[in-house]
């Protein structure tokens, strides 16, 4: 049955911060090494050690910012190990991620160069769990101080005369777990202490992000907001979509049963409840919404690909991941008055990646295509929509079959993104367009879909799941009608 969606093109609710489309790269598995960094002597085409294909692909999705060096790795990372001549850098054990040797060849200078090449803002995560206040203070000084000082002089000795601009700085990561197993009161006090020395030098103004809650730990948010809100600009939240059990078996990335598909969608949609409840607490202490909710780790987490190092968290990426990404972005748009940044975990070769590499080959995943199709929402105005949609049912449970989100870009273009999460049924829709003033618009559409729940791209078939033209859009007075295929993510663009 055709369902109706009303789009109020004249009611703008909030700005969708482009940083909602942010990324995360940790020293984990093959994300940094092989993914971004191959070294200057590699036969893989690179610029100063960084893969050219990766840079080009990420620029194509307007990557706004990149979080580094972790994750759990951040609270074991000592930044001075990663500066100076590479051959002299300390080799350490990456205890969290496979116990492999970390040679520190990718450090501060390499990361800042990468951000420069991508045109992305750096988001650096400092070490609270095993670091010192002095170490964090000196990192900021090394990065951003222009004048004469020990750290600024050291930076110059290492070949960088000018300070860098750094805005986003995280004071610890998951300090309730791998970042020190702390209680919220204790971390809150440490946050207050550490952030004191995260200083603004010259005109470099830092945006300080406090380590936030795990999933539904609302007490953590309550304590942090009550005790430290005036001293932070952002508070993080981590939530992964895991269809199974974290310890007993998360489920296969490429072989979901119908019920695992349903549970994955249900768990992805749970993000809405989490943001709503954490926001309610934040509103109590920050009614003007000055402090950003920073969801700096999100995405699917499945069992690793058979035969790969369990500590490397390498998983394939299917049409199911594309729908999870689409649903998340719609939820983030809905909460864009509070959600100022999010970072998918992780950019390359780890968890819900946008790129996978194998030697000199690189493929774009279905999730990549969602980032590419949705880039039109970056910094656009989020529009009011009311939707009446069918249910997607399984046993006694049901979910909305279709999710929709609409924004208006600075050039007046209206972009409607739509996800049909049903594995079998089409979604016939009538879209009513209220408030258009310029007459009948030009309408175009693209769709990402597949015929199997496990469809994905491989190094032999890299285009298996890729966007196509959405053909069946019928324009009528005041609106349009369209039928979304099962398991699809679409974007319809209205322009003049």
Cα angle: 399, vertex 400, 406; to 5 degrees: 145
Annotated active-site residue 297? The verdict is yes
Instruction: Identify any residues that bridge with 318 across adjacent strands, giving them in sequence order.
Output: 456
Q: Are 112 and 67 in contact (CB under 8 A)?
A: no
- Name the one range near ligand AHR by CB under 6 A: 67-75, 184-192, 280-288, 463-471: 67-75
In this complex, which beta carbon is closest to ligand AHR, that of residue 241 or of residue 336?
A: 241
Question: In this chain, which of 173, 175, 349, 453 binds ligand AHR, going by CB under 6 A?
Answer: 173
Q: For the purposes of burial, counting CB atoms within 10 Å of the CB of 94, is it exposed (0-12), middle (13-18) or buried (19 or more)?
A: buried
- Name the one range near ligand AHR by CB under 6 A: 45-53, 280-288, 315-323, 345-353: 345-353
Active-site choice (76, 110, 138, 174): 174
Query: Which three-class secondary structure state does DSSP give residue 76?
Result: helix
- Name the one range near ligand AHR by CB under 6 A: 70-78, 219-227, 249-257, 319-327: 70-78
In this complex, which beta carbon is closest to ligand AHR, that of residue 174 or of residue 334?
A: 174
Strands (E) across 268-368 are located at 292-300, 339-345, 355-358, 361-364
Contact status: 343 vs ligand AHR (CB under 6 A): no
Q: Which residue in the shown chain puts its C-beta closest to ligand AHR?
A: 71
Strands (E) across 96-173 are located at 100-102, 121-126, 168-171
Contact status: 422 vs ligand AHR (CB under 6 A): no
Contact status: 317 vs ligand AHR (CB under 6 A): no
Q: Are 293 and 233 in contact (CB under 8 A)?
A: no
Q: Are 465 and 318 in contact (CB under 8 A)?
A: yes
Q: How many CB atoms lie within 10 A of CB 489?
A: 29
Q: Indicate the Cα dihedral angle 280, 181, 192, 337, nearest 10°.
A: -30
Residue 328 Cβ vs ligand AHR, minimum distance, rounded to whole Å: 15
In this complex, which beta carbon is closest to ligand AHR, that of residue 20 or of residue 345?
A: 345
In this complex, which beta carbon is closest to ligand AHR, that of residue 71 or of residue 251?
A: 71
Residue 77 Cβ vs ligand AHR, minimum distance, rounded to whole Å: 11
- Give the end-to-end CA distance of the chain in Å, rounded to a whole number: 31
Active-site choice (76, 102, 141, 297): 297
Q: For ligand AHR, how many residues bind (rule: CB under 6 A)?
A: 10
Contact status: 345 vs ligand AHR (CB under 6 A): yes
In this complex, which beta carbon is closest to ligand AHR, that of residue 27 or of residue 369?
A: 27
Residue 170 Cβ vs ligand AHR, minimum distance, rounded to whole Å: 11
Question: In this chain, which of 121, 174, 303, 321 binds ligand AHR, going by CB under 6 A?
Answer: 174
Q: Are strands 468-469 and 442-449 parallel, antiparallel or unpaired?
A: antiparallel
In this complex, which beta carbon is closest to ligand AHR, that of residue 136 or of residue 399?
A: 136
Annotated active-site residue 260? The verdict is no
Question: In this chain, which of 71, 82, 211, 479 binds ligand AHR, going by CB under 6 A?
Answer: 71
In this complex, which beta carbon is closest to ligand AHR, that of residue 297 or of residue 334?
A: 297
- Nearest partner of 236 among 97, 137, 343, judged by Cα: 343
Contact status: 300 vs ligand AHR (CB under 6 A): no
Question: In this chain, which of 297, 303, 321, 422 binds ligand AHR, going by CB under 6 A?
Answer: 297
Q: Are 14 and 339 in contact (CB under 8 A)?
A: no
d(Cα 225, Cα 60) in Å, to the nearest integer?
37
Q: How many CB atoms lie within 10 A of CB 196?
A: 11
Lookup result for tokens 């492999």: 100
Structure tokens at 342: 């999010």
- Which segments of 204-257 does DSSP mark as H helices, in order? 218-228
Contact status: 72 vs ligand AHR (CB under 6 A): yes
Residues that bind ligand AHR (CB under 6 A): 26, 70-72, 173-174, 297, 345-346, 351
Q: Catalytic positions, please? A: 174, 297
């Amino acid at each position: 049955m055709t369902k109706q969606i009303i789009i109020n093109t004249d009611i703008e609710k909030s700005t969708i911060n482009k940083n909602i489309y942010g990324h995360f790269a940790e020293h984990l598995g093959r994300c940094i090494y092989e993914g971004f960094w191959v070294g200057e002597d590699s036969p893989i085409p690179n610029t100063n050690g960084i893969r050219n294909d990766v840079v080009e692909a990420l620029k194509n999705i307007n990557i706004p910012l990149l979080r580094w060096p972790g994750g759990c790795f951040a609270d074991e990372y000592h930044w001075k190990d990663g500066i100076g001549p590479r051959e002299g850098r300390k080799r350490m054990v990456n205890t969290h991620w496979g116990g492999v040797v970390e040679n520190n060849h990718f450090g501060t200078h390499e990361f800042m160069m990468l951000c420069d090449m991508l045109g992305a803002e750096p988001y650096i995560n400092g070490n609270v769990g095993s670091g010192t206040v002095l170490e964090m203070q000196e990192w900021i000084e090394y990065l951003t101080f222009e004048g004469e000082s020990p750290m600024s002089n050291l930076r110059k000795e290492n070949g960088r005369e000018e300070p860098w601009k750094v805005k986003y700085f995280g004071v610890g990561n998951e300090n309730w777990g791998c970042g020190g197993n702390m209680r919220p009161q204790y971390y809150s006090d440490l946050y207050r202490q550490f952030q004191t020395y995260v200083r603004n030098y010259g005109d470099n103004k830092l945006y300080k992000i406090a380590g936030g809650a795990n999933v539904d730990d609302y007490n953590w948010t309550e304590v942090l907001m009550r005790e430290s809100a005036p001293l932070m600009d952002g508070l993080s939240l981590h939530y992964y979509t895991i269809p199974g059990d974290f310890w007993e078996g998360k489920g296969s990335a490429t072989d979901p049963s119908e019920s695992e598909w349903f549970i994955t969608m249900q768990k992805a949609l749970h993000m809405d409840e989490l943001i709503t409840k954490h926001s309610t607490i934040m509103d109590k202490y920050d009614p003007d919404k000055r402090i950003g909710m920073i969801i700096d780790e999100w995405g699917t987490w499945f069992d690793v690909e058979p035969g790969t190092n369990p500590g490397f968290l390498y998983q394939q990426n299917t049409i199911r991941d594309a729908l999870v990404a689409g649903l998340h972005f719609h939820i983030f748009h809905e909460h864009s008055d509070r959600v100022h940044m999010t970072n998918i975990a992780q950019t390359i070769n780890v968890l819900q990646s946008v790129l996978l590499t194998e030697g000199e080959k690189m493929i774009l995943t279905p999730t990549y295509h969602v980032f590419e199709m949705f880039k039109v929402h970056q910094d656009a105005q989020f529009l009011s929509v009311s939707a009446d949609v069918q249910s997607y049912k399984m046993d006694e449970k049901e979910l909305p079959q279709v999710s929709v989100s609409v924004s208006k870009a600075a050039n007046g273009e209206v972009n409607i993104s739509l996800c049909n999460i049903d594995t079998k049924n089409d979604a016939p829709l009538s879209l009513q367009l209220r408030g258009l003033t310029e007459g009948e618009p030009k309408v175009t559409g693209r769709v990402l879909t597949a015929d199997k729940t496990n469809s994905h791209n491989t190094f032999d078939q890299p285009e298996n799941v890729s966007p196509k033209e959405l053909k069946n859009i019928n324009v009528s007075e005041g609106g349009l009608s369209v039928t979304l295929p099962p398991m699809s993510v679409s974007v319809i663009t209205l322009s003049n």
